[in-house]
Structure 1
Amino acid sequence: MKRFDQLDWQAEARRRPNRQAMSMTRIIIVGGGFAGVKCARALRKRLSANPCEIVLFSLENNMVFYPLLAEVVGAAINPGAVTVPLRQMLPGVRCRTEEVRQINLAASEVEYEGYDGRLCRMTFDHAVLACGTAVNLSMVPGMADHAFPMKSVGDAMALRFHVTEQLEKADVCDDPERRRWYLSFVVVGGGFTGVEVAGEINDLIRASMRFYGNFTTDEVTVTLVHSRDQILPEVSPTLREFARAKMEQAGIHMMLNARAVSATAEGVEMHDGRILRGATVVCTIGTTAPLLVHRLDVPKKGGRLLTDPDMRVRGTSNLWAVGDCALVVNAYDGQISPTTGQFAERQGRQAAENIVRVLQGQSTRPFSYRPLGQLCGIGERNAVGEILGVRLSGFPAWWLWRTVYLLKSPSWSRRLKVAFDWTWELFFPRDLTHPKINQTERIARAHYRSGDSIFVEGEPAMSFYAIEQGEVEVLRRGPTGQQHLVAVFGPGEFFGEIALLDGTVRIGSVRARSAVEVLVMGKEVFSTISGALTPFRNLVAQALRWRRPRLDLRLSHAWTALQRQPLSAFMEAAPNHHLSLENTFEDTVRMFDRLAVEYLSVLDEKGRLEGIVTRNELFEAFAQGKKPSTKVREFMRADPVAVTPDDTSLMAGELMNKHDIDWLPVVESKNNRCLIGLVRSEKMLRWLVEQSPPDSWYPDR
């Protein structure tokens, strides 16, 4: 069978009959950012007369001009102005929107996921890794669940629409505290992205205040959280201080030397225990190396690829790395190149030059670049920057910042779009459109701090929850309004199903007992899965049987009366008949038939409980084709749930309800599982029915 890359060469040969496909040089570039695009452009220009195929892999079919993403958030420009289709930018370059999974250096081939999901391979003469970095919000618990990242145009648009949505909610909210929460915005990270996003959000809100009549500027809070003592570590101390002072004058609160330790639906928790409440959290910290880089068995440092001076990955001859994924030493000053757009472009261009030199049999050159400087917008038509050693701040820096980035936009069509949007914004208010999109429900994750409310009694039921980590507590209100603890759930358990199944409001409140990670399933997804998946539906039904008595307050008090009754009051002697570990499947079937019992205990030679066998285990063993001589240890239910004399009757009753069984074995202790008795649910139920409920069962009366 022909390999995919062979078929690809043949297709190329048919398209270009005057060239021999197998003699054509193929250069693969992975990544459609600044470095990858500049490398592809330079290669195509230098090798235009050569029989060379240049292939660029990028999951997106466009390049994003990242320096202007914050302007999209602030509605200063439209998203189309910061994206350029790769195919239009790179004529003569084959663009593929497929994911490269790994690189086989020995075979000089890339493995990628094709359009149909199958893994395909393509050989190369040279490959350039320009795949950047990946977002890693999980470094702070809850950020991935509750914070907005700033990596793509989609992220910027989602944040922009969210900000305008909060303004709409605040304008119709009658609760002052809740209104201030809607109008509280927290940006984590005081680098270029964090500063620019905070400034744009602040500008958007304050420029739009005149259209909203139900709140004032005093109720709006934009907070920038940074772990160091000054923001913008990339610029000089004097410019950092200028930026801080100007942003504070514009109404942005600074929290310096502050570290976020978790994020929840209510806001951000700081390292000193303070809580920054806010309906909007933006996280501009947290990156990691892409999986492709992780999978490469080459030298790395801090998740970045180590390169030789000419940007070849160390230890390789035809693999190059540029941009944020590479650790490239700048020969100009001997320093590691920063992860900025201007360095990525220069690295991409020089990597292309070095590849051409290798193809022409010439020696390569080390990467050397004198940086032009840095510019950063801080809001209210102010910026800070250093250009060729000259420091600028205020309006002149802002004008230069816009001029530089306008000229650096990758095409004239985008420059005209950006110029038009900026001119429009000078004369007309910013766009406050918030299109409501009914998104398909999905399974998501959420993080809650200890004490956070997950839902409140009386709320409409919208979601189903499964606990991954931590514990939650279920509370019910009595006749006087006092809350009572009725249940505690931990990892592997779930909650929220009763109101979803009954079509009612929440009959209890759920609060995080500790830091909690939960899976959240929308009600439509829950209904679909519970309707189609029988085991899931049975699991939920089983949970309902043991939870309803606890969640119904009157039944809960009656049920907890078992707490005062010793387990010995319900304990019966252990049955004389039992199985041993040496009994066979045939022995077990005969004993069930002779004794007409529902289950048999399995004891070792010392009388310790090793397992149980019910009719379910027998039928399952028969369906699996167990031989008559099969030992009982191979089909019994090992380590069955059991209680000890020290456990309460309430605990025994809850275990029987939870596991949908009518009896429980009683063992001597947790460390000594010698079978000493049995507890049956019928006996407990008869005792409950015979009791007249005393007033002490109802503490709120």
Structure 2
Amino acid sequence: VDIELISDRNYFVFQPLLPEVASGVINAQDAVTPLRLLLPKVKVRLAEVKGIDTQAQTIQLVQGRQRILHDLPYDQLVIGSGQITDLSMFKGFEQHSLTMKDLSDAYLLRNKVIQNFELADVTDNQELKKRLLTFVVAGGGFSGVETIGELQDMIHQTLRYYPRISKQEVRLILVQFADRILPELPEKLSLYAHNKLVKRGVEILLKTGVTSATSTSVTTSHGDVISTNSVITTIGNGPSDFVKSLGIELVRGKIPTNRELQVEGLNNVWSLGDIAAIPLEEKGKYAPPTAQCTVREARLLANNILADLKQKPLSSFCFSSKGALASLGGYSAVGNMMGINLYGLPAWFLWRGFYMAMLPGVATRIRVALNWAFDYVMPRTIVHMEQAKPHACRYMHFAKNDVVFHTGEWVDGFYVVVDGELQLDVSENDGTPAFSRTFETNGHWGERTIQNDCMTTGTLTAMKDTVVMVIPKEDFVRMRQAMPSWDSYFNNLDASKYSDAILEIERKNVE
């Protein structure tokens, strides 16, 4: 059996540890496991999935430096891509909130908190200081509660280094749409967690949603405006583009499967995890998106694929929770294990032991255990180490005869010739004639390819030493949307300047 894993990153991150990465308990690099180390008998392919042709049983993916579209055939396909953050229904949240999905999110949050404290420490503007020291977490489920708990613990330990900031000036606000936090746990545990967080200075707004965010505030469903520049959201999930393109009706944004984890209506396609809507025995109930549930799904799915290959009966998925635990930070947690409610320090020890057992790889477990041990005896670092941000527009230099793009690549931006000369050559193909065009100083290329979200139809070559300015694809689209005159300019360009190949793609898209 040949098994291949396609991922757009070469590591696995255990999401329950992200709040501790954000608070500085665990080093970022110690919370991840390289996929090639974790899965030595599995081929790992670093690539981005663009689509799936279930009729031809091929996956369309982009890989490598040239980002050329490849078709990868499969006999059995498992979709376990998880969900992406979708904040489109919350105005301004995509631009002005932080998420807790990946390692980079935890890293950004940590730097944001430290940066805000540094800025608040030196400002004389009380309104600005209030905004900098107010932190809002949207969502009172496991992720939201654990995030604000670790955030409070981090701030509590950090305050001693900032004598010009008092404890009373810091606001931590948890916004929960439901009538209690941690609704997945028994009500008694929710109440304990609520009281524990409030006692530590966290404000909890129940039966309250968020509607919009700006760079200086967040607005709740009750119309209250909270002055802050730090909004962390643990809500808003949705399917990725390639999942939407499958052509099947999604259930709550998830891929519908039967109880054997086969995708409804598709042959040889399976799904599990956060992206799968797996029905349980009780009608109308679906498998919860938790780690313990996904681990059991994975075991069943592997056995069912083997059974399918051997033409044996498949097994149905059954799930009964062994319990759930939530860390509140500050050496405290709540949980329910086998029907027994647990609180405080014992629950916290059990929480750490439980997640230690679930961490993938011995090396990762050792590193995380050492991080936890050091946290008892050593102060957490307050180093603000912001990652370098590349310029939105960049310059690139090409020597004579350098190929800028080959045919069939995905473009990364809009190209403007600053100095030099580029030549586009499109070969005759499927009835479309050959085409050639030269771009000299101030000439531009890529607008039609970006507009049609397609691959390059020809080869772009530097005819002499050339300098180009590149505007990233996403920024180019935004500029066209924000500037009607710019959009009009590109819409009214002479069609004869473009190859029949790109115009044919455009015609098909319109149809």
Q: One fold, TM greater than 0.5?
A: yes
> Does the residue aligned with 1:300 lie in a helix, a strand or coil?
coil
2:250 to 300, 309, 314: 300
Q: What corresponds to 1:435 in structure 2?
A: 385
Q: How is 1:113-132 mapped onto 2 (pairs within 5 angstroms)?
A: 113-115=62-64, 116-132=66-82
- In the superposition, the TM-score normalised over structure 1's length comes to 0.55
Give the deviation of 1:333 after TM superposition: 9.0
1:245 to 181, 192, 195: 195
Q: What corresponds to 2:43 in structure 1?
A: 94
> Does the residue aligned with 1:301 lie in a helix, a strand or coil?
coil
- Deviation per CA, 1:490-548: give whole Å up to 9, x if none: xxxxxxxxxxxxxxxxxxxxxxxxxxxxxxxxxxxxx998xxx9xx9xxx9x99xxxxx
1:73 aligned onto 2:73: no
Alpha-carbon contact 1:192-1:376 (below 8 Å) kept: yes
- One-letter identity of the residue aligned with 1:225: V
2:375 to 410, 414, 425: 425
Alpha-carbon contact 1:332-1:368 (below 8 Å) kept: no
2:235 to 267, 285, 296: 285
> Does the residue aligned with 1:385 lie in a helix, a strand or coil?
strand
Task: Give the Cα–Cα distance (whole angstroms) in 2 for the partners of residues 197 and 339 of structure 1.
Answer: 18
Structure 1, gaps ≥5 residues long = 1-51, 444-526, 544-619, 625-701
Q: What corresponds to 1:570 in structure 2?
A: none
- Deviation per CA, 1:430-471: give whole Å up to 9, x if none: 12111144422338xxxxxxxxxxxxxxxxxxxxxxxxxxxx
Q: What corresponds to 1:689 in structure 2?
A: none
Task: Give the Cα–Cα distance (whole angstroms) in 2 for the partners of residues 316 and 146 of structure 1.
Answer: 39
Give the deviation of 1:300 after TM superposition: 2.4
Give the deviation of 1:54 after TM superposition: 0.5
Alpha-carbon contact 1:247-1:379 (below 8 Å) kept: no
> Does the residue aligned with 1:336 lie in a helix, a strand or coil?
coil
Alpha-carbon contact 1:250-1:380 (below 8 Å) kept: no
Q: Could you say if the C-alpha distance between residues 528 and 301 of structure 1 is closer, same or farther in structure 2, counting changes exceeding 3 Å?
A: closer
Alpha-carbon contact 2:46-2:63 (below 8 Å) kept: no
> Does the residue aligned with 1:187 lie in a helix, a strand or coil?
strand
- Deviation per CA, 1:596-633: give whole Å up to 9, x if none: xxxxxxxxxxxxxxxxxxxxxxxx99x99xxxxxxxxx
Q: What corresponds to 1:319 in structure 2?
A: 269
Alpha-carbon contact 1:128-1:320 (below 8 Å) kept: yes
1:106 aligned onto 2:55: yes
Q: What is the alpha-carbon root mean square deviation over aligned residues? A: 2.4
- Deviation per CA, 1:393-451: give whole Å up to 9, x if none: 111111110111112111111111111111111111112111144422338xxxxxxxx
Task: Give the Cα–Cα distance (whole angstroms) in 2 for the partners of residues 132 and 184 of structure 1.
Answer: 31
Q: Greater RCO between the two (CA within 8 Å, min separation 6)?
A: 2
> Does the residue aligned with 1:258 lie in a helix, a strand or coil?
coil
Give the deviation of 1:272 after TM superposition: 2.2
Task: Give the Cα–Cα distance (whole angstroms) in 2 for the partners of residues 528 and 102 of structure 1.
Answer: 27
Alpha-carbon contact 1:137-1:143 (below 8 Å) kept: yes
Q: How is 1:134-283 mapped onto 2 (pairs within 5 angstroms)?
A: 134-283=84-233
- Deviation per CA, 1:126-155: give whole Å up to 9, x if none: 100101101112220000111001110001
Alpha-carbon contact 1:332-1:370 (below 8 Å) kept: no
Q: What corresponds to 1:55 in structure 2?
A: 4
Larger radius of gyration: 1
Task: Give the Cα–Cα distance (whole angstroms) in 2 for the partners of residues 335 and 302 of structure 1.
Answer: 12
Task: Give the Cα–Cα distance (whole angstroms) in 2 for the partners of residues 408 and 205 of structure 1.
Answer: 28
Give the deviation of 1:314 after TM superposition: 1.2
- Deviation per CA, 1:650-680: give whole Å up to 9, x if none: xxxxxxxxxxxxxxxxxxxxxxxxxxxxxxx
Give the deviation of 1:181 after TM superposition: 1.6
Task: Give the Cα–Cα distance (whole angstroms) in 2 for the partners of residues 59 and 212 of structure 1.
Answer: 40
- One-letter identity of the residue aligned with 2:292: Q
Q: What corresponds to 2:350 in structure 1?
A: 400
- One-letter identity of the residue aligned with 1:419: A
Q: How is 1:479-498 mapped onto 2 (pairs within 5 angstroms)?
A: none
Task: Give the Cα–Cα distance (whole angstroms) in 2 for the partners of residues 347 and 210 of structure 1.
Answer: 46
- One-letter identity of the residue aligned with 1:122: L
- One-letter identity of the residue aligned with 2:325: L
Give the deviation of 1:211 after TM superposition: 1.1
Moved more, 382-391 or 114-123: 114-123
Alpha-carbon contact 1:64-1:83 (below 8 Å) kept: yes
Alpha-carbon contact 2:130-2:227 (below 8 Å) kept: no
Q: Could you say if the C-alpha distance between residues 346 and 333 of structure 1 is closer, same or farther in structure 2, counting changes exceeding 3 Å?
A: farther
- One-letter identity of the residue aligned with 2:210: A
Aligned length: 404
Give the deviation of 1:175 after TM superposition: 2.4
- In the superposition, the TM-score normalised over structure 2's length comes to 0.76
> Does the residue aligned with 1:335 lie in a helix, a strand or coil?
coil
Give the % identical residues. Answer: 33
Q: What corresponds to 1:348 in structure 2?
A: 298
Task: Give the Cα–Cα distance (whole angstroms) in 1 for the partners of residues 389 and 56 of structure 2.
Answer: 44
Alpha-carbon contact 1:186-1:281 (below 8 Å) kept: yes
Q: Could you say if the C-alpha distance between residues 384 and 118 of structure 1 is closer, same or farther in structure 2, counting changes exceeding 3 Å?
A: same
1:84 to 17, 33, 52: 33
Task: Give the Cα–Cα distance (whole angstroms) in 1 for the partners of residues 84 and 386 of structure 2.
Answer: 29
- Deviation per CA, 1:19-74: give whole Å up to 9, x if none: xxxxxxxxxxxxxxxxxxxxxxxxxxxxxxxxx11111011101110111110011
Task: Give the Cα–Cα distance (whole angstroms) in 1 for the partners of residues 92 and 235 of structure 2.
Answer: 13
Task: Give the Cα–Cα distance (whole angstroms) in 2 for the partners of residues 90 and 431 of structure 1.
Answer: 33
> Does the residue aligned with 2:2 lie in a helix, a strand or coil?
strand
Give the deviation of 1:166 after TM superposition: 0.8
- One-letter identity of the residue aligned with 2:231: V
Q: How is 1:371-520 mapped onto 2 (pairs within 5 angstroms)?
A: 371-442=321-392
1:366 aligned onto 2:316: yes
Q: How is 1:516-527 mapped onto 2 (pairs within 5 angstroms)?
A: none
Task: Give the Cα–Cα distance (whole angstroms) in 2 for the partners of residues 265 and 441 of structure 1.
Answer: 20
Q: Could you say if the C-alpha distance between residues 303 and 332 of structure 1 is closer, same or farther in structure 2, counting changes exceeding 3 Å?
A: closer
Give the deviation of 1:332 after TM superposition: 8.3
Alpha-carbon contact 1:310-1:365 (below 8 Å) kept: yes
Task: Give the Cα–Cα distance (whole angstroms) in 2 for the partners of residues 437 and 298 of structure 1.
Answer: 40
Q: Could you say if the C-alpha distance between residues 324 and 368 of structure 1 is closer, same or farther in structure 2, counting changes exceeding 3 Å?
A: same
Give the deviation of 1:299 after TM superposition: 4.1
- One-letter identity of the residue aligned with 2:341: R
